Structure 1
Amino acid sequence: MSQRKFMGLGGGATASEPGIALASERLANAAAEPAYDDEQEFPLVIANIPATPRQKAWAVGVAVSLIVLAAVIAPFARIQLGQINGFVPVLQTALALAEFITAALLFAQFSIQPQRALLALASGYVFSGSFAFLQTLAFPNGYAPAGLIGDGLNSPAWLYVLWHTAFPAAILVYGFTKDRSTAGRPGRPAIAAIVLAFGCIAATVAGLTWMVTAKAEFLPSFYVNDVRHQTPLGNQVNLILLLWNVTALTVLFARMRTILDLWLMVTLLAYLPNFLVAIIGSSVRFTVGWYAARGFVLVGSCMLLTILLIETMFIYSRLASVIALQRRERANRLLSIDAVTGAIAHELRSPLGAISLNAATGLSHLRATSPELEELENILCDIEADGSRAADIISSIREMTIKTAHGGASANVEDVAELARRLLRHDLLANGVSVTTEFQGNIPPVVLDGTELQQILLNLCKNAIDAMSSVPADQRELRMKTRLDGGTTVHLSIEDSGAGISPRDQERIFDPFFTTKQGGMGLGLAISCNLAARCGGKLRLIKSDVKGSIFELEIPISAPASAP
């Protein structure tokens, strides 16, 4: 009967219920809260990313460089150079390729977040690349003495006019519509809009090209017998194109807000020497000014493409960071589920085992020749008590879960620290780490809930265990200390006896993805620092040298400490 009494009274579930409840609080918070709460949402497309002061400084630097270079070339613009027949086909084919790639990237942005301004701008780049390439086919001595299409004299010039008219027009449409909130739906509607835009562009380009090539004799002439010298109409048209580009530039400047606006302005600025050289310096082909002007156009065409590629890489890196943080949070939640289920199994095993043993003892009494009714009554009372104790364990978990789901979460630092030590007991024993606790006692609850506090402590303790792997086993010691500062803040320090962190790495240990551990993700301290900061607390490295490191967690209390 002593064995029955031992099992009926043994266990210790009641003493461990706070730990179970706190573990369940962690699980409930993990299910109720988002994996990673980033208060500053980053835009999905580059067209919505605001221009930072640093980017503006870069743009101003590029613009000043272009202006200085144009000023240096201007005195030599009239110097005649040799005629390089392959210059225009090679340069403008590369230019057209850059324009088409830029258009593809802009259409991709439109498919993610459909905005009419993006569709107009992408269409403008398709127009620009199309007319630039078609001019190479019409340019004399490019692919043929009189060009492959057109009359060889005026058709290339008119294609040039169409090129530099359509692109600023698209930018004007973009500038006037970019701040409107109306947007289409991603997916098939956006793809249908892109296909429709391509159809309209193809029809317009084909019609205009046919007009300036097959019917060039009905249009005003830019050249009369010599492809080297323009008529006065050429200077007049270049002046109109200059004013047209300046108009688009002015609209963008007045409505400039995003990175896309900023670098479109730089692109238009790079196009201006193309007209200024023709108006002021020279209207003759194959001069220094003529060659340089087309070089400026190529630079302008590649400008936005470069920025789109760079910013797309940055957006991808930020997205990768968020995904990595979410995966880390998910892994932590799985660990929390393992901890809770393990704790529940451990705490319920005792009362359930006692119930089974008492039931078996009661059956043996009933089978006896003369059963002792008083003893059977005691057995049934023990079974009832053990059943009630198991129900109390489950009820406490349920009550804590409901409380956590409805907010108002807080936690006792010392209770959570003790639970974290229990959860890491196997790791501590496996690595030969001894634990010393110096708790002040009577610490009031803090504003950080048990889920997040336990996550921070587990990260700090695991880092400490890893840091001591290189020191002798008899010197591996982990210390946990708590103190109350001024009745408003709780300080919890985690100290290890490892080899310390190098001074070069101490400034970066809280940066995401920075790690000194082989195979580490570099997210534990970054997440912990973020969790502490969200409740007004701080996570700091107090000391680190060859004798070990000390991390201190500072958290405000949830209510003023009561007077003793």
Structure 2
Amino acid sequence: MSQRKFMGLVGGATASGPGIALASQRSANAAAEPGYEDEQEFPLIIANIPATPRQKAWAVGVAVLLIVLAAVIAPFARIQLGQINGFVPVLQTALALAEFITAALLFAQFSIQPKRALLALASGYVFSGSFAFLQTLAFPNGYASAGVIGDGLNSPAWLYVLWHATFPAAIFGYGFTKDHSAGGRPGKPATAAIIIVVGCIGAAVAGLTWIVNAKAEWLPNFYVNDVRHQTPLGNQVNLMLLLWNLTALTVLFARMRTILDLWLMVTLLAYLPNFLVAIIGSSVRFTIGWYAARGFVLVGSCMLLTVLLIETMFIYSRLASVIALQRRERANRLLSIDAVTGAIAHELRSPLGAISLNAATGLSHLRAAPLELEDLENILSDIEADSSRAADIISNIREMTIKTAQGGASANVEDVAELALRLLRHDLLANGVTVITEFQGNIPPVALGGTELQQIVLNLCKNALDAMSSVPADQRQLRMKTSLDGGATVHLSVEDSGTGITPRHQERIFDPFFTTKQGGMGLGLAISSNLVGRCGGKLRLVKSDVRGSVFELEMPVSAPASVQ
């Protein structure tokens, strides 16, 4: 028996880089391994994609590369180089632009799924990009010999401190709120929240910038008459910033689940050489270490932006594939409807025409003077016969439709179940549901069409999602299991970890128009039960209690097609 596990709370990977993956298990005790072959998976919100082994391998590779580069540069870090006045303006302007774009992408994700963690993280990137650019304006010999703003000596250093203090603070906010449920609804409420947050950030940045520029004399000095060498206070502050970033890195490591967590850790790791160089090299500007440290910061700032763009590209390609698949399916259904309606019109035209002709003839006999009643009995008999023939035609077409959905069509239960899970994947991840499938494998097709079976499975899964909405996110689990009974009956069970159905409602759960959900129509289970019953199968509620419910589909194996 094979077992696959869909991690519904976070993460994923693509076939060629960061992305979406399906973790699979070959046995109950086997380690989960991602599958990357299926390009038709339903698109996901990047912030919820689980970090898979391949994704972790990419991150570890980048982290090792950064560490190796830092180790290679370290022996030469104190070597003094010439002062390149355009270095800081060019590098930090590009850095600020990258962080603003990253913030915009994170705000866009927040507008799709309003989670406070995304809002906190996007705010951190806005703070970081703002202070990075403002430090460029204040940096001596950057855009001006004494800087465009500030005192040209200590203001840039204090903006640097604000820059690297606010971003880890935002990481803390993200780390401790990312498991919370959405803080609002998509659309206008989310847009209003973004506008308010950006306005507050702008006010905070303006206030702090005014303090460190207009009132720099109130603050301790990092430089005294020398823009190259910091005071001992600079080393102490850099040590504090190093510990602050390491603490944020530890929080992310302890709570790491998603791609976002993983690459934020790499981003913080890329920032560390910046502080190490300042501590070890006494913050001497324009050394090899000083230039390299800012290069590491630029790499860290572009890290998440690169991942977001790559993931967006893969999600877009998957979305396009899914839409094309749905359009083809819709076109096929429309063709089937056209064929059925055409057959009905063709078959009914003859008896209805005869009925109309006989009715007109009967009326002419009744209107004649004197009345002509000799053939009226025969006319009415013909009308009755044609009416019966029309009724038989409708019955035959009905039987043909049912036979097509049953005997003429068949479907593999496991294939349909996996397709249904892919179509619901966005909802599963958005609701933090872990999905585990235990498929027996090599199960013969059942005597039910794929469309009907998919409709039933989707309905059962959606009901399970609704049942688990009031359960804590870390306890939401959807389990699917298939089995073959005696080679003639296939069983598919759908189990949730919701609050269950009360005993007084269990007997009526399959009744039409009976529902336990607000806004529900009470037709889903009734229609599903009817569809399964047509092929000689059953849909039943196996158990339901406070630990969840189990619905089971019992379907006969499709008979092999006869050779004509």
Normalising by the smaller structure, the TM-score range is: 0.5 to 0.7
- Counterpart of 2:388 in structure 1 is 388
1:202 CA drift (Å):
1.0
1:212 CA drift (Å):
0.9
In structure 1, distance between residues paired with 2:487 and 2:158? 81
1:145 partner amino acid: S
Do the aligned partners of 2:410 and 2:447 also contact (CA within 8 Å) in 1? no
In structure 2, distance between residues paired with 1:123 and 1:363? 83
2:261 partner amino acid: D
CA RMSD of aligned residues (A): 3.4
In structure 1, distance between residues paired with 2:268 and 2:44? 25
In structure 1, distance between residues paired with 2:115 and 2:42? 17
Structural mapping, 1:496-507, within 5 Å: none
- Counterpart of 2:131 in structure 1 is 131
In structure 1, distance between residues paired with 2:360 and 2:68? 98
- Counterpart of 1:78 in structure 2 is 78
Do the aligned partners of 2:158 and 2:212 also contact (CA within 8 Å) in 1? yes
1:379 CA drift (Å):
3.5
Q: Structure 1 383/226 Cα, relative in aligned 2: closer, same or farther at 3 Å? A: same
- Counterpart of 2:406 in structure 1 is 411
1:396 CA drift (Å):
5.8
Structural mapping, 1:243-254, within 5 Å: 243-254=243-254
Q: Structure 1 370/134 Cα, relative in aligned 2: closer, same or farther at 3 Å? A: closer
In structure 2, distance between residues paired with 1:176 and 1:415? 49
Question: Cα deviations across residues 422-463 of structure 1 (Å, max 9, x unaligned)?
Answer: xxxxxxxxxxxxxxxxxxxxxx9952239679xxxxxxxxxx
In structure 2, distance between residues paired with 1:124 and 1:42? 30
Do the aligned partners of 1:78 and 1:282 also contact (CA within 8 Å) in 2? no
For structure 1, the residue ranges without an aligned partner over 5 or more in a row are 1-37, 417-443, 454-485, 490-534, 536-554
In structure 1, distance between residues paired with 2:170 and 2:152? 28
Do the aligned partners of 2:154 and 2:222 also contact (CA within 8 Å) in 1? yes
1:413 partner amino acid: G
Question: Cα deviations across residues 354-388 of structure 1 (Å, max 9, x unaligned)?
Answer: 33454566678786999683x54334312211112
- Counterpart of 1:242 in structure 2 is 242
Do the aligned partners of 1:271 and 1:300 also contact (CA within 8 Å) in 2? yes
Do the aligned partners of 1:155 and 1:213 also contact (CA within 8 Å) in 2? yes
Structural mapping, 1:472-487, within 5 Å: none
In structure 1, distance between residues paired with 2:487 and 2:221? 89
- Counterpart of 1:350 in structure 2 is 350
1:488 CA drift (Å):
4.9
In structure 2, distance between residues paired with 1:295 and 1:124? 20
Do the aligned partners of 1:487 and 1:560 also contact (CA within 8 Å) in 2? no
Question: Cα deviations across residues 103-147 of structure 1 (Å, max 9, x unaligned)?
Answer: 111111111111111111111101000100011111111111111
- Percent identity of the aligned residues? 87
Structural mapping, 1:74-113, within 5 Å: 74-113=74-113
Do the aligned partners of 2:406 and 2:447 also contact (CA within 8 Å) in 1? yes
In structure 1, distance between residues paired with 2:373 and 2:110? 85
Q: Structure 1 105/363 Cα, relative in aligned 2: closer, same or farther at 3 Å? A: closer
User: How many residue pairs align between the two structures?
Assistant: 395
In structure 2, distance between residues paired with 1:85 and 1:342? 79
Structural mapping, 1:462-541, within 5 Å: 488=488
1:259 CA drift (Å):
0.7
1:487 CA drift (Å):
7.9
Q: Structure 1 445/244 Cα, relative in aligned 2: closer, same or farther at 3 Å? A: closer
- Counterpart of 1:482 in structure 2 is none
1:169 CA drift (Å):
0.4
Do the aligned partners of 1:446 and 1:557 also contact (CA within 8 Å) in 2? yes
In structure 1, distance between residues paired with 2:95 and 2:148? 19
Question: Cα deviations across residues 226-257 of structure 1 (Å, max 9, x unaligned)?
Answer: 11111111111111100000000000000001
For structure 2, the residue ranges without an aligned partner over 5 or more in a row are 1-37, 412-443, 454-485, 490-534, 536-554
Do the aligned partners of 1:411 and 1:445 also contact (CA within 8 Å) in 2? no
Q: Structure 1 58/349 Cα, relative in aligned 2: closer, same or farther at 3 Å? A: same
- Counterpart of 1:160 in structure 2 is 160
1:411 partner amino acid: Q
In structure 2, distance between residues paired with 1:263 and 1:306? 10
Do the aligned partners of 1:410 and 1:446 also contact (CA within 8 Å) in 2? no
Bigger mean CA deviation after superposition, 51-60 or 311-320 = 311-320
Question: Cα deviations across residues 188-225 of structure 1 (Å, max 9, x unaligned)?
Answer: 21111111111111111111111111111121111111
In structure 1, distance between residues paired with 2:163 and 2:409? 72
1:201 aligns with 2:201: yes
In structure 2, distance between residues paired with 1:282 and 1:293? 13
In structure 2, distance between residues paired with 1:297 and 1:84? 18
In structure 1, distance between residues paired with 2:260 and 2:158? 29
In structure 1, distance between residues paired with 2:323 and 2:192? 30
Do the aligned partners of 2:42 and 2:322 also contact (CA within 8 Å) in 1? no
1:54 aligns with 2:64: no
SS in 2 for 1:296: helix
Question: Cα deviations across residues 378-404 of structure 1 (Å, max 9, x unaligned)?
Answer: 343122111122133335667888xx7
SS in 1 for 2:283: coil
Q: Structure 1 267/487 Cα, relative in aligned 2: closer, same or farther at 3 Å? A: closer
Question: Cα deviations across residues 405-435 of structure 1 (Å, max 9, x unaligned)?
Answer: xxx995223999xxxxxxxxxxxxxxxxxxx
1:329 CA drift (Å):
2.0
2:302 partner amino acid: C
SS in 1 for 2:84: coil
Do the aligned partners of 1:354 and 1:386 also contact (CA within 8 Å) in 2? yes
In structure 1, distance between residues paired with 2:182 and 2:376? 79
- Counterpart of 2:509 in structure 1 is none
Do the aligned partners of 2:119 and 2:194 also contact (CA within 8 Å) in 1? yes
1:307 aligns with 2:307: yes
Do the aligned partners of 1:411 and 1:450 also contact (CA within 8 Å) in 2? no
In structure 2, distance between residues paired with 1:343 and 1:141? 84
Bigger mean CA deviation after superposition, 73-82 or 173-182 = 173-182
In structure 1, distance between residues paired with 2:208 and 2:151? 15
SS in 1 for 2:284: coil
Do the aligned partners of 2:277 and 2:290 also contact (CA within 8 Å) in 1? yes
1:42 CA drift (Å):
4.9
2:150 partner amino acid: G
- Counterpart of 1:32 in structure 2 is none
Do the aligned partners of 2:127 and 2:167 also contact (CA within 8 Å) in 1? yes
1:339 aligns with 2:334: no
1:172 CA drift (Å):
0.7
1:185 CA drift (Å):
1.5
In structure 2, distance between residues paired with 1:229 and 1:384? 108
In structure 2, distance between residues paired with 1:198 and 1:449? 52
Question: Cα deviations across residues 45-102 of structure 1 (Å, max 9, x unaligned)?
Answer: 2111111211111111000000000000000000110000110011000000001111
1:289 CA drift (Å):
0.1
In structure 1, distance between residues paired with 2:290 and 2:333? 66
Bigger mean CA deviation after superposition, 85-94 or 43-52 = 43-52
The structure carrying a bigger helix percent of its residues is 1
1:293 CA drift (Å):
0.1
- Counterpart of 1:316 in structure 2 is 316
- TM-score (ref. length: structure 2): 0.64
SS in 1 for 2:186: coil
Q: Structure 1 61/362 Cα, relative in aligned 2: closer, same or farther at 3 Å? A: same
Do the aligned partners of 2:409 and 2:449 also contact (CA within 8 Å) in 1? no
SS in 2 for 1:413: coil
Do the aligned partners of 1:70 and 1:273 also contact (CA within 8 Å) in 2? yes
Q: Structure 1 445/291 Cα, relative in aligned 2: closer, same or farther at 3 Å? A: closer
Q: Structure 1 371/120 Cα, relative in aligned 2: closer, same or farther at 3 Å? A: closer
